[in-house]
Structure 1
Amino acid sequence: MEAAIRALDNDSRVLLVSEDSIAREVLRQTLMVHLIEGEAEVH
């Protein structure tokens, strides 16, 4: 999970270096989706 977060964070920084607040929002929403999907798969 930590590796996935780091990978997503790195991608966000590369793609949206000049739009850091947008990068953070996209990262947060992406992680939310992954967590929800992950829990759905587990259960």
Structure 2
Amino acid sequence: MNSRKEFFNVTLKEIEKEVLDNFDATVEFTEYAKAEEYRCSLELSEE
């Protein structure tokens, strides 16, 4: 688990909109990633 991490309070849709509006590139967005360390951190914070 990575204890040195940053969290930002934005939704994936907000990030997707910014990327599509501001960058001239073909991108593909995945709304569900493995994010094993993140999910582990969530479990610890819920305890």
Which band: TM-score by shorter chain?
Answer: 0.3 to 0.5
**Greater share of helix residues, 1 or 2?**
1
Q: TM-score, normalised by structure 1?
A: 0.34
Query: Which gives a bigger RCO, structure 1 or 2 (Cα 8 Å, sep 6+)?
Result: 2
Q: TM-score, normalised by structure 2?
A: 0.34
Largest Rg, 1 or 2: 2
